[in-house]
Each structure stands twice: as C-alpha cells, then as structure tokens.
Amino acid sequence: MKMNGNVPGLVRHESDWWDVCLGYIVNDHITVAGGYANFGNILNHREDNVWAIQVKYEF
C-alpha cells in the first residue's frame, strides 16, 4: 500500500501550510526575530494563523 501523507478530510497537502520569518542581529548580544504562520487545515480543525516574536539576549 502506497502512503502519500494525505488522509481525505483530515490531512491535506503540505502546500496548505506556509509561514514568513524575519530576524535581525542588533549587536553581538541581542537578536530579534518575528514571524507569521498560516497552518490551514490540521486534522479536522481549521487553525487559522499565529504571530510570533522573539527577543534574545546572550551574555
């Protein structure tokens, strides 16, 4: 039996999911990143979108 990763009505093609991410190195200690993702259909639920932001300080 050939498996292609699709389950009709549950899991769709990977092209239904996409995201955008940006990062910036402020200096040797601080980085900032942010992103937006649209997850499409996951299992039998519609997961619309999510925003993310990260600020990291390294010693």
- Domain boundaries along the sequence of the chain: 14-57
Question: In degrees rounded to 5, what are phi and psi of residue 15?
Answer: -65, -10
> Is residue 19 over pLDDT 80?
yes
Mean pLDDT of 16-27: 90
Indicate the pTM of the whole model.
Answer: 0.61
> For residue range 22-50, what is the model confidence (pLDDT) as tens digits?
999 999 999 999 999 887 766 556 667 88
Tell me the helices (H) and strands (E) count for the chain, helix number first.
0, 5
> Is residue 12 over pLDDT 60?
no
Nearest one of 36, 35, 31, 26 to 57, comparing CA atoms: 31
Token representation of residue 22: 């940006």
Per-residue pLDDT band at 18 (split at 50, 70, 90)? confident
Cβ(52)–Cβ(34) under 8 Å? Answer: yes
